[in-house]
Amino acid sequence: MGLIQARLEGSFVAAVEIFFLGLLGLASCASIAADNAGLGGLTLFFLPRLFAGRWRPPLPVVLLVVFFAWNVVSALASPLRWEAIQSIPHYWSWTALLTASAIPLFRRRLDIFAALMSLSAIASAVVAVFEFITGADWPVALRMATRQLGVNGARGFFSNGLTYAGVITIAGLFLAGRAIYGRERKAVAILLWAAVAACFLGLLLSKERAYWLALLPAAALLSLGKGWKRATAVAAAVLLAILLLLALGPAALRQRLYSINDASDQGNLERIYLWRSAIDIIADRPLAGWGFGTYQDVAPRYKAPYASFVRHPDGPPGFRTTSHAHNQYLMIAIHSGLIGLGIFAAFVFLAFRSVWRDCDDGIKYGVASGFTAFLIGGLFEYNGGDAEVATLMFFLLGLAMPGYRESAARVTLNGPIDLRGP
C-alpha cells in the first residue's frame, strides 16, 4: 500500500515538475512573465530537496552561492547601503542554476523542454521577420510600420534586440547540440533543426553585433565533438556566411556588420566611454565595490567628463545607456569589487569544467557552446543583468552539474518504482 501511495504521489509531483519545465521551455524565447512563473514553480520543488538534504551542490554551485554572499557583504559595506540591499533579489534569475542542478527529472525529460523551446523559437522568428521587414515592433507594426527593410533590428517578443539576440543565440546552440548529438526521433529532430534555423535567422535580423561575433567560436566549439576537422569546417562555413552577407545581404545588415570596426560609429564610441567611466568607478572602490543596483546613482558623475564625446546623429550629445556599462565583467566589478569579479571568474572556470565533463554530448556541447556565446557577449553587454538571458543560461548550466540525492523509493512519471536509490 505504501509503495502504491509513493507511486501516485511521485507521479503527481513529476507531472507538475514537467508542467513547469515545459512552461520554462515555452517561455524562454517569448515571455519574461511566464519565464518567471516557470522558474518560480520549479523553485517550490527545489526548496524541499534543499531542506531534506537530498541536494548535494556541486562545487561551481557552491561558488555561485559564495558569490551571492559576497554581494550581500558588498551591499552592507556600500555608501548606498539601502539601494544595494534592495537590489540583491535581482540575482533571482541566476538561481535557476540551483534549481536545475537539484531536480533529476529535468535531464530525463529534456525532450519536452527542447520541443517546447523549439516551438517558441520558431514563433519568435516569424515575429522577427515581420519586425525586420516593417521596421516596427510587432504589437504596433500594423499601424506604425515604416516599411523600410531593416531600419530597426528585430527583437521578437522582447523589449529590445540585445535580449532577443542573447536568448536566441543560447537557445539555438543548445537545440543544435540536441539535434547533432542526441538520439531523437526523426520528427523531433526535424523540429529541432527548424528551430535552430529560426534562432539563427532571428539572430541575423536582430542586428546585434556582439552575438554575431560570439557565434563563430561558439559554433566551432559546438561541432568539436565531431572532430577538429568538422569544427574547422563549421567555423569556415560561418565565416563564409559572414562574407556572403557583406557581399550580397540587405544594405541594413551589411552596414551593421561593417560598423563593427568603425571608430566613428557612435554606438561603438558610447561603449568605449562607458567602459572608461566604469573603470573610474571601480578605481574609487576597487575591493568591495559599490553594491548591486547602485550603478544608476553612482555613474552620472563619472560619465559626465566623457558625455560630450558621444554625439548620436539623431539626438543631443551624451550617453543613451543609463542602466549599465555594456559589459558584464565591469558591472560585476562595480557591484562587488575585484573580489567579487575574482569569485565570478572562478565560478566560470569550474562551471565550464563541469559542463565539459558531462557524459551526455547533447548537453555537453550544447551548453558549453551557449555558455561560450554568453561569456563573449558579456564583453559588449550586461547579459547577466538581463533576466531572460540569465534565466535560460543558468538553467542550462544547472542541467550539466547534477547534485541530487534521491530517496530509496524513486519514482518517474509513467515509469517503474526504483528501490535501489541513487
Per-residue confidence (pLDDT) for residue 163, from 0 to 100: 93
**Residue closest to 174 by CA, chosen among 376, 393, 339, 404:** 393
| Grid cell digits, residue 204 | 541575423
Task: Tell me which range, 153-167, 200-214, 341-355, is most confidently predicted by mean pLDDT.
Answer: 341-355
List, for residues 158-210, the tens digit of each pLDDT value.
888 899 999 999 999 999 999 888 877 778 889 999 999 999 999 988 989 89
For range 375-388, the mean pLDDT: 93
List, for residues 8-62, the tens digit of each pLDDT value.
345 777 888 889 899 999 999 988 888 888 888 888 888 888 887 788 889 999 9
Per-residue confidence (pLDDT) for residue 407, from 0 to 100: 45
Which residues fall within 8 angstroms of residue 297, CB to CB, at 6 or more apart?
80, 83
Q: Is the pLDDT of residue 119 over 80?
A: yes
**Residue closest to 9 by CA, chosen among 419, 418, 413:** 413
On whether the CB atoms of residues 282 and 73 are closer than 8 A, the answer is no
pTM over 0.75: yes
Q: Is the pLDDT of residue 236 over 70?
A: yes
Q: Report the b/e string of 56-74 with b at 16+ CB within 10 A.
A: ebbebbebbeebbebbebb
Per-residue confidence (pLDDT) for residue 260, from 0 to 100: 76
Tallying the residues shown for the chain, one arrives at 422
- CA-CA distance, 186 to 203, in Å (whole number)? 26
- CA-CA distance, 214 to 370, in Å (whole number)? 9
Per-residue confidence (pLDDT) for residue 421, from 0 to 100: 35
